[in-house]
Amino acid sequence: MRADTATNWDRLAPLYNLQLRLERSALDAAVDVAAFDPADRLLDLGTGTGALLVRLIERRVALAEVTGVDRSPGMLARVPALPDGWRLLRADATDLPLPADRFDVVSAIYVLHLLDPDHRQKLLEEVRRVNGPAGRLIVVVPAPPPVNRLTRMLAPLARLLGCLSPTLLGLRPIDAVAELERCGFAVLETRRVTRGYPSVVVKASFPAA
Ligand SMILES: C[S@@+](CC[C@H](N)C(=O)[O-])C[C@H]1O[C@@H](n2cnc3c(N)ncnc32)[C@H](O)[C@@H]1O
């Protein structure tokens, strides 16, 4: 059974927004790195309670179209009212009911590290399919902790907690750059964020064959 189920997120949903302040710097970095164009059509995978969408509204970022996808109805129910042309879709990001070449930018903010390697690869294949030929991918993941004596001592505990509840705290950080490159993406830019959750923001694209 997948530990990271929609039901788990439905249970967390009422409390989820309490921690959003800690995401803010990473969200801002993601918006900056994305360098949106008003003609862009954005797909936000694992949109949750709409943290990225809300930040885009607050920063008055103009976009042609925005679709937020999540498989947890409890999380989606907490997305505030959205501007005209922005919509929510309940779906699994590893199997999207969306046509090919439909978007210009796909984002996955604090999502990839929650998935096991097989589902991560499926999600990235879906990104490739639904993104247009010049499409960009924006990823935010928790930064892997620095390697020192303390983190080496705590590593077995973190692994155990990560197995018991991978949805919590990003206890299974991943090397997003290596992961994206392994799946054929070209990494265009990375940014480390230290305020709030230590995070890594990555912009990537799929090079033309
Ligand atoms: C840590 S939250 C991040 C939410 C939001 N992106 C943010 O930055 O606040 C992870 C979200 O990903 C969603 N999620 C996890 N796996 C998913 C999948 N396979 N398909 C769609 N949504 C998924 C969960 O339901 C949850 O809402």
Tens-digit pLDDT profile for residues 114-141: 999 999 999 999 999 999 888 999 999 9
Q: Which two tokens stand for residue 55?
A: 């930040």
Q: Which two tokens stand for residue 160?
A: 């155990």
Cβ 9 under 6 angstroms from ligand 1: yes
Q: Ligand 1, atom 12: nearest CA belongs to which residue?
A: 46
pTM above 0.85, yes or no: yes
Structural domains for the chain: 6-205 (3.40.50.150)
pLDDT of residue 185: 95
| Matching residue, tokens 């937020």 | 68
Q: Which residues contact 158 (CB under 8 A, 6 or more apart)?
A: 171
pLDDT digits (tens, 9 = 90+) for 38-70: 999 999 999 999 999 999 999 999 999 999 999
Burial class (CB in 10 A: 0-12, 13-18, 19+), 91: middle
Q: Ligand 1, atom 7: nearest CA belongs to which residue?
A: 51
For residue 156, what pLDDT band results from cuts at 50, 70 and 90?
Answer: confident
SS3 per residue for 55-109: HHHHCCCCCCEEEEEECCHHHHCCCCCCCCCEEEEECCCCCCCCCCCCEEEEEEE
For residue 146, what pLDDT band results from cuts at 50, 70 and 90?
Answer: low
Cβ 110 under 6 angstroms from ligand 1: yes
Cα–ligand 1 centroid distance for 132 (angstroms): 23
Cβ 74 under 6 angstroms from ligand 1: no
Q: Which two tokens stand for residue 23?
A: 């995401």
Position 22: which residue type?
A: L
Q: Which atom of ligand 1 sits closest to the CA of residue 48?
A: 27
Cβ 141 under 6 angstroms from ligand 1: no
Say if CB 70 and CB 87 are below 8 A apart.
Answer: no
Parallel, antiparallel or unpaired: strands 41-45 and 103-109: parallel
H or E stretch at 190: strand 186-193
User: Could you give the percent of the chain with pLDDT greater than 70?
Assistant: 87
Cα–ligand 1 centroid distance for 148 (angstroms): 30
Say if CB 89 and CB 102 are below 8 A apart.
Answer: no
Cα–ligand 1 centroid distance for 61 (angstroms): 22
